[in-house]
Amino acid sequence: MAGWACIIRLGGIGDDLIASSVCRPLKTLGYKVEFIASAPQHVVLQNNPFIDKLTVKEAEKDLQAWVTNRAQEYELCVHLSHSVENRHALFKHSTAFWWPADYRRKLCAGNYLETQMDIAGVPHMFGPLYFPTQDELEFVRRSKAKIGDRCVAWVLSGTRIDKVYPYSTIAIPRIIKECNIPVVMLGAGGKQAAMAKGIIDEMERANATTDGLHLCLTPDMPEGFDAPYEKVWSIRRSLAFAHICDLVVGPDTGFMWATAFEPSLKIVLLSHASPENITKHWVNTVTLHADPDKVPCWPCHRLQDDPSTCVQNKEGNGAACISDISVEQIVQAVRHGLGS
């Protein structure tokens, strides 16, 4: 045995799943692996066969000093916090955020997963990143059986403004009607609940019915939300449901990373990042993105926290990059993927 290796990644769902890619090669090299993550996102790492110990870490005032001290307890300690952000996507407070776009593209080129493994000093090995339990799979299979033999999962949005597809209200009704397949909206509560309600309302206007449209959000829902949804869905159940859907559509989010190496078809709607960054190693994946001749700011490699630094679409209701992906492109990709 090579002893213990520790991976530290204090981030969101997608961040944790990306960082967990190093656990597979570490186990192959003979290490026992401890993963230190933040709550509540740490739950997506549960049941990972390549993690021997999962530890939850609260915020630390001087994180780097804490990591330096903790590293002495292991044969290998790899700190992956900000390994994507500072390497491939830039914070507004950094000087590089304001450098010319062409140079930013050179600076931020490369692949997220490869970077994790290069930092850890392990061989590149790719495989599933999320591991649902048998109980979770049985639950979501029963849920899917109530919906139909086949269904499409639609991930409502990511955490940043450029990871919202503003024409979901048009695309989803078309998929249901033209491809004759149910669509299940996945996501968290809060603002995504309002998005889901808008899609439900538009579905009724466009198709004169909400038949075929389903909603599965995590429990953090606003008071008074009256659209039908399953209140007991946890993030793990939602990710497990994405696993068993026939096709998953969404921006670069934790949901999509959870399915990256699953056999089901993925249609990824990119915003600030490039295909090389995100989907280079994914399996059975269609990557849609802006036409750089029409949207010269793409890819910007910027972490957009507010509209002030993000180029907006003509309607002013979304980022120009993800908005340049047409509804027709998505519908045709779904139709082709389903063989319909």
Q: Length of the chain in residues, anyone?
A: 340
Rounded-to-integer distance, Cα 209 and Cα 318, Å = 27
Rounded-to-integer distance, Cα 74 and Cα 325, Å = 46
pLDDT at 220: 54
Q: What's the pLDDT band for 300 if we cut at 50, 70, 90?
A: very high
In the chain, what are the domain boundaries? 1-81, 134-338
Q: What's the pLDDT band for 338 if we cut at 50, 70, 90?
A: very high
Domains 1-81 and 134-338 share a fold: yes
Average pLDDT over residues 19-48: 97
Provide the 10 A C-beta neighbour count for residue 115.
18
Judge residue 313's burial from the number of C-beta atoms within 10 Å of its C-beta, 0-12 exposed, 13-18 middle, 19 or more buried: middle
Rounded-to-integer distance, Cα 180 and Cα 150, Å = 10
**CATH for the stretch 134-338:** 3.40.50.2000
212 Ramachandran zone, left/alpha/beta (phi>0; psi -120 to 50): left
Q: Which residue has the tokens 């919202």?
A: 164
Record the pTM: 0.94
Residues 91-108: b if buried by 16+ CB within 10 A, e if exposed: eeeeeebeeeeeebeeeb
Class of domain 1-81: alpha beta
> Is 249 strand, coil or helix?
strand
| pLDDT tops 90 at residue 158 | no
CB 55 within 8 A of CB 35: yes
| pLDDT tops 80 at residue 257 | yes
Average pLDDT over residues 221-242: 68
pLDDT at 6: 98
